[in-house]
Amino acid sequence: MERVKAISGAELVRQKLKNCGDSKKAAHLAKFFQAFPGGYGEGDRFLGVAVPVQRRIAKSWYRDIALCELENLLRDPLHECRLTAIFIMVYKFEKAKTTSQREALISLYLGNLINVNNWDLVDSSAYKLLGPYLADKDRSLLYSLAGSGVLWQERIAVIATLHFIRHHDYADTLELAKMLIGHRHDLIHKAVGWMLRETGNRDFKVEYDFLQENYRIMPRTMLRYAIEKFEPDLRKRFLAGQV
């Protein structure tokens, strides 16, 4: 009798994603995430699967996928496979019962940063994996990532600090903001501005003092993101350089 080859958990997830694909949505996503030549997501490929569907698949299968299979998904050329792998990693990290389990997931994450290569992948993982992991550890890794010259690693460094911000710890956010204030790319401008805004949501004075010192040299997009929640008159004064 011919032996039937078992299908891995990763392959099952891949098949489920492909079954949910939509070619029109895939074409839209390719434009939205700039997968065209010269875009920041150049060469990426899409199935056209909605994020809520990916989350449901991840939640259904995260318990059954070993890390080696998860790495296979994380290295897939299809964007939705990588993003679903990220969702699975986050579920596993949140449910992990031991330090060694969390360390294994972080090791997998850091060993595959080359595949965390668009802003949604970064924003779905950095503050949910790296941020919590580094909360009680040395954070020099964030500064290495911020100085790497690799766009996605630089964004990971900034977005990871959202976990600290939510615990009223702002020092690394402000230091990284200073480090990246002259960055060339608007995806970093948006990320830094967003984290400054999150800081101000919790401690207005901390953000205000930082902006007073630095807003004149900040890229316009970074400043607009940072002051989005300010009172209209104050926002106008910042934009006019009158603070």
> What whole-number distance in Å separates Cα of residue 39 and Cα of residue 42?
5
- 0.85 cut: is pTM over it? yes
Give the pLDDT score at 7. 63
Q: What is the mean pLDDT of residues 50-70?
A: 93
In the predicted structure, residue 5 carries a pLDDT above the cut 80: no
> What whole-number distance in Å separates Cα of residue 192 and Cα of residue 198?
10
At 21, list the tokens: 């694909």
Judge residue 35's burial from the number of C-beta atoms within 10 Å of its C-beta, 0-12 exposed, 13-18 middle, 19 or more buried: buried
pLDDT digits (tens, 9 = 90+) for 105-141: 999 999 999 999 999 999 999 999 999 999 999 999 9
